């Protein structure tokens, strides 16, 4: 009985190591592959009464495209109105959104600012919904001191929210 324990321990340990190596290799393979052929990003609109910088939607558009490219959700992130090859249309999606509310913070993080938006991802081929979300970003006052800072933070955050919703 004393000789069986080390052998059982070795078999269990080897099995666990094999499972670990296989799962790592499968995970690495799936992370490297893009989920879509193309993602078209449209300029986000501002709901009536939302008071942000005039150039903010353009800056957000640029930052969101950059962040989606980094996330590698698609082989290619294209401009609004960009063309897609007929063979790739079925594997392509469009991202559009609307900023519905922006509230500046109080003087402490007890009352952070908030940016709320509606984000929709739909198939380019038949316009069927792939994901729809209404996220709210809590904002520290330094994050919206200027339009570029807010666009960088929001672009990264929206790309993360899109990636989470597509899992």
- Enter the pTM of the model: 0.77
Our measurement of the distance from residue 87's CA atom to the centroid of its chain's CA atoms, rounded to an integer in Å, reads: 25
* CATH code reported for the domain at 34-165: 3.40.50.10610
Residue range 124-151, pLDDT digits in tens? 999 999 999 999 998 887 787 888 999 9
**Domain residues of the chain, as ranges?**
1-32, 34-165
Please give the average per-residue pLDDT across 80-98, as a whole number. 95
Q: How many CA atoms lie within 13 A of 138 on its CB side?
A: 6
Please give the average per-residue pLDDT across 33-45, as a whole number. 94
Map residue 93 onto helix, strand or coil. strand
Please give the average per-residue pLDDT across 106-117, as a whole number. 79
22-36: b or e for each residue (b if 16 or more CB lie within 10 Å)?
eeeeeeeeeeeeebb
What is the structure's pLDDT at 28?
40
Percentage of the chain with pLDDT > 70? 78
Residue 103 has pLDDT above 60, yes or no: yes
Residue range 16-25, pLDDT digits in tens? 444 444 444 4
- The set of long-range contacts for 54-63, using a CB threshold of 8 Å and a minimum separation of 24, is 55/147, 56/147, 56/150, 56/151, 57/99, 59/147, 59/148, 59/151, 60/151, 60/154, 60/155, 60/158, 62/151, 62/155, 63/151, 63/152, 63/154, 63/155, 63/156
What is the structure's pLDDT at 7?
62
């Amino acid at each position: 009985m004393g000789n069986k324990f080390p052998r059982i321990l070795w078999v269990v340990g080897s099995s666990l190591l094999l499972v670990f190596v296989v799962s790592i290799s499968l995970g690495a393979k799936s992370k490297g592959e893009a989920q879509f052929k193309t993602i078209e990003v449209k300029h986000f609109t501002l709901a009536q009464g939302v008071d942000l910088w005039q150039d903010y939607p353009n800056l957000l558009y640029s930052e969101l495209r950059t962040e989606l490219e980094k996330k590698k959700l698609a082989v290619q992130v294209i401009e609004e109105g960009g063309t897609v090859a007929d063979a790739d249309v079925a594997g392509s999606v469009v991202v559009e959104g609307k900023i519905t509310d922006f509230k500046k913070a109080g003087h402490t993080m007890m009352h952070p600012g908030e940016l709320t938006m509606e984000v929709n991802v739909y198939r380019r081929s038949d316009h069927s919904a792939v994901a729809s979300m209404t996220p709210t970003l809590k904002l520290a006052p330094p994050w919206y001191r200027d339009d570029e800072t807010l666009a960088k933070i929001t672009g990264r955050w929206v790309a993360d929210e899109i990636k989470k919703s597509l899992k």
